[in-house]
Amino acid sequence: MARIIDGKAFAARLRAAIAAEVAVLPFKPGLAVVLVGDDPASQLYVANKARQTVEAGMRSFEHRLPARASQAELLDLVRRLNADPAVHGILVQLPLPPPLAAAEVIAAISPEKDVDGLTVVNAGRLATGLPGLVPCTPLGCLLLLEEVLPEMAGCHAVVIGRSNLVGKPVAQLLLQRDCTVTLAHSRTRDLPGLCRQADILVAAAGRPEMVKGDWVKPGAAVIDVGINRVAGAAGKARLVGDVEFASAAPVAGWITPVPGGVGPMTIACLLRNTLTAAKNQEAARVGEPG
Ligand code: GUN
Query: Beta strand pairing status for 89-92 and 156-160?
Result: unpaired
Pocket mutation for ligand 1, best pick of 163, 165, 170, 267 (most atoms within 8 Å of C-beta): 165
267 in contact with ligand 1, CB cutoff 6 A: no
Answer whether 63's CB lies under 8 Å from 32's CB: yes
Domain membership flag for residue 17? no
C-alpha span between 98 and 54 (Å, rounded): 31
Domain membership flag for residue 82? yes
Domain membership flag for residue 3? no
The domain in which residue 172 lies consists of 136-263
C-alpha span between 113 and 82 (Å, rounded): 7
One domain, residues 171 and 259: yes
The runs of H, that is alpha helices, within the chain are: 7-23, 40-55, 71-83, 102-108, 120-128, 136-148, 167-176, 191-195, 245-248, 263-286
Taking each helix axis from N to C end, the angle separating 7-23 and 263-286, rounded to the nearest 10 degrees, works out to 20
pLDDT at 233 over 90: no
pLDDT score of 246: 98
Q: How far is the CA of 282 from the centre of ligand 1 (A)?
A: 26
One domain, residues 144 and 219: yes
pLDDT score of 79: 98
pLDDT score of 290: 65
Domain membership flag for residue 18? no
One domain, residues 81 and 163: no
Beta-carbon contacts of residue 286 (< 8 Å; ≥ 6 apart)? none
One domain, residues 141 and 258: yes
Q: How far is the CA of 31 from the centre of ligand 1 (A)?
A: 14
One domain, residues 149 and 188: yes
Domain tally, the chain = 2
Answer whether 265's CB lies under 8 Å from 140's CB: yes
pTM for this model (two decimals): 0.96
Domain membership flag for residue 211? yes
Pocket mutation for ligand 1, best pick of 43, 45, 118, 270 (most atoms within 8 Å of C-beta): 45
pLDDT score of 264: 97
One domain, residues 188 and 77: no
Domain membership flag for residue 16? no
At residue 123's C-alpha, the angle toward residues 87 and 260, to 5°, is 75
Per-residue model confidence as pLDDT tens digits over 159-183: 999 999 999 999 999 999 999 999 9
Q: By alpha-carbon position, which residue is closest to atom 2 of ligand 1?
A: 94
Catalytic (active-site) positions: 49, 93, 116
Rounded to the nearest 10°, the torsion over CA 213, 216, 220, 225 is: -80
One domain, residues 44 and 156: no
C-alpha span between 198 and 218 (Å, rounded): 9
Answer whether 235's CB lies under 8 Å from 171's CB: no
CATH number at 90 reads 3.40.50.10860
273 in contact with ligand 1, CB cutoff 6 A: no
Domain membership flag for residue 99? yes
CATH number at 203 reads 3.40.50.720
Domain membership flag for residue 127? no
Q: How far is the CA of 116 from the centre of ligand 1 (A)?
A: 7
One domain, residues 144 and 106: no
pLDDT at 232 over 90: no
One domain, residues 142 and 86: no
One domain, residues 161 and 258: yes
Residue type, 286: V
Q: How far is the CA of 256 from the centre of ligand 1 (A)?
A: 20
Answer whether 29's CB lies under 8 Å from 275's CB: yes
Residue type, 53: T
One domain, residues 165 and 97: no
